[in-house]
């Protein structure tokens, strides 16, 4: 691969696509040429990159000639249709959808955890689910030290995880309620302002949602831990940006708070913010726009043997999506050196 690659962003005008473009620039990724691709509806729009206005082009089957790396964030159906076409041209696809995450031939990668898996790609590499990524940033270092058996977790997921229309819905509903008018809803089945919805993604026959099962299924693959178990409740909350997760984890080995804190302090991409007596703990307000995730509220879990409870927060548009994708692209460049 060219050390100064031709990069494409597919779904460039979406919330994650815009962050991918910003992240490529902020991290000084050595892009020789950047091609922005989106639907016909978005073609002709422009995005700034390195001080220049770049036009958005319509995504077609012929879009990938000469492209070295394509960062996809345009939904699973687009990925299923176009990622194999891109890979067939010799381009490496980093896909942010769920389309290929459980495909045994596709690596599922968080670079701080399993960067080596990038080497096994066949033209497509998958980005994990945002809630899974943020949780594993704290859980995996603890797993390395104490061997995790299972977790019980509840997520607190920002509306931007649903997209720009959900952000507008929350803003609109707050204004309507403050003005004494009924809240109108289009995106979510219930009012999201001043409410929480225990419903993220579609329900499966067993009663869990697809989002909830991703933690167990993707966690097993990323950590190379086939016996990992996760019982999760995913909740949408009236926060604009950054997901948070409350985790109770049970380990094979005895764990204490001091030892866990030392492990987490050394973990890449993670900051320990854990001074509850000074009201310092991770919050979406402070993790939004930040590359690192934050972990805190560390305490011995009083309901499980060898248990530890913690709270982790991170920007789901960055570590949960755009940043992780660019980090994977950085790993791809390392393979050429």
SS3 for 124? strand
Transcribe 155-192 into DSSP letters. Answer: EEE-GGGT-HHHHHHHHHHHHHHHTTPPPP-SSSSS--
Cα(222)–Cα(218) distance, integer angstroms: 6
Distances (CA, A) of 234 to 32, 155, 177, 211, 217: 40, 5, 25, 7, 15
Q: Are 134 and 243 in contact (CB under 8 A)?
A: yes
Residues 6 or more apart in contact with residue 235 via CB below 8 angstroms: 154, 155, 156, 157, 196, 197, 198, 200
Burial letters 19-44, b for 16+ CB under 10 A, else e: bbbbbbbeeebebeebbbbbeeebee
143 in active site: no
Catalytic residue among 6, 121, 143, 243: 243
293 in active site: no
Q: Are 31 and 122 in contact (CB under 8 A)?
A: no
Q: Are 223 and 115 in contact (CB under 8 A)?
A: no
Question: Closest Cα to residue 54, out of 25, 74, 26?
Answer: 25
Catalytic residue among 91, 121, 130, 143: 130
Question: Closest Cα to residue 317, out of 20, 90, 112, 89?
Answer: 20
SS3 for 22? helix
For the annotated catalytic residues, the residue numbers are 130, 243
């Amino acid at each position: 691969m060219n050390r100064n690659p031709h990069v494409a962003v597919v779904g460039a005008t979406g919330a994650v696509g815009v962050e991918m473009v910003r992240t490529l620039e902020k991290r000084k990724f050595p892009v020789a040429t950047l091609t922005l691709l989106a639907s016909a509806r978005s073609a002709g729009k422009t995005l700034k990159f390195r001080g220049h206005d770049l036009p958005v082009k319509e995504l077609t089957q012929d879009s990938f000639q000469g492209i070295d790396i394509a960062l996809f964030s345009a939904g699973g159906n687009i990925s299923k249709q176009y990622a194999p076409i891109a890979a067939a041209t010799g381009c490496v696809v980093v896909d942010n959808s769920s389309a290929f995450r459980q495909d045994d031939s596709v690596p599922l990668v968080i670079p701080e955890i399993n960067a080596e898996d990038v080497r096994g790609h066949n033209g497509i590499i998958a980005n994990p689910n945002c809630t899974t990524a943020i949780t594993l940033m704290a859980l995996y270092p603890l797993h390395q030290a104490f061997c995790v058996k299972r977790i019980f977790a509840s997520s607190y997921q920002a509306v931007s995880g649903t997209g720009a229309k959900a952000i507008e819905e929350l803003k609109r509903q707050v204004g309507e309620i403050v003005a004494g008018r009924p809240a109108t809803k289009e995106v979510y089945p219930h009012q999201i302002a001043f409410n929480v919805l225990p419903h993220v993604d579609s329900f499966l026959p067993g009663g869990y949602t697809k989002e909830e099962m991703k933690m167990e299924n993707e966690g097993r693959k990323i950590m190379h831990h086939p016996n990992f178990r996760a019982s999760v409740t995913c909740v949408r909350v009236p926060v604009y940006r950054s997901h948070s997760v409350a985790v109770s984890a049970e380990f094979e080995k005895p764990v204490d708070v001091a030892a866990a804190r030392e492990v987490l302090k050394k973990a890449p991409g993670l900051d320990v913010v854990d001074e509850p007596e000074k009201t310092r703990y991770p919050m979406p307000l402070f993790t939004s726009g930040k590359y690192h995730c934050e972990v805190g509220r560390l305490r011995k879990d009083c309901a499980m043997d060898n248990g530890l409870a913690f709270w982790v927060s991170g920007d789901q548009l960055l570590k949960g999506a755009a940043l992780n994708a660019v980090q994977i692209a950085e790993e791809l460049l390392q393979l050429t050196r």
